[in-house]
Amino acid sequence: GGDGWAYDIGFGGLDHVLSSGRNLKVLVLDTEVYSNTGGQASKATPRAAVAKFAAGGKPAAKKDLGMIAMSYGNVYVARVAMGGRD
């Protein structure tokens, strides 16, 4: 799912299944904004990033979804950056 779902709208459900200890795989495509609504800031948007409805920069830090997931002790988290050249 997208970051708007994972970090905001569907976080309660995602947190529930992560804490359940079930064997599952979750892929979050993190664009750091609500891409389907034109780029509105979300909890995935980094601090000071300029986005729609955050023209002066987002005041709060980005939620660390990976750290939240790993806090349950039975969750493996991998991150990939697709924008890097080297």
Q: Is residue 42 part of a domain?
A: yes
Structural domain containing residue 32: 3-70
Q: Does residue 55 form part of some domain?
A: yes
Q: What integer pLDDT is reported at residue 76 of this predicted model?
A: 94
Predicted confidence at residue 86, as pLDDT, reads 64
In a domain, 86, yes or no: no
Task: With respect to residue 78, please indicate whether it lies within any of the assigned structural domains.
Answer: no
Q: Whole-prediction pTM value?
A: 0.80
User: In total, how many domains does the chain have?
Assistant: 1
Averaged pLDDT score across all residues of the chain: 88
Number of H helices and number of E strands within the chain?
A: 3, 0
Q: CB neighbours of 47 closer than 8 A, spacing ≥ 6? A: 57, 58, 59, 60, 61, 62
pLDDT of residue 10: 92
* Residue numbers of the chain with a pLDDT score lower than 50: none
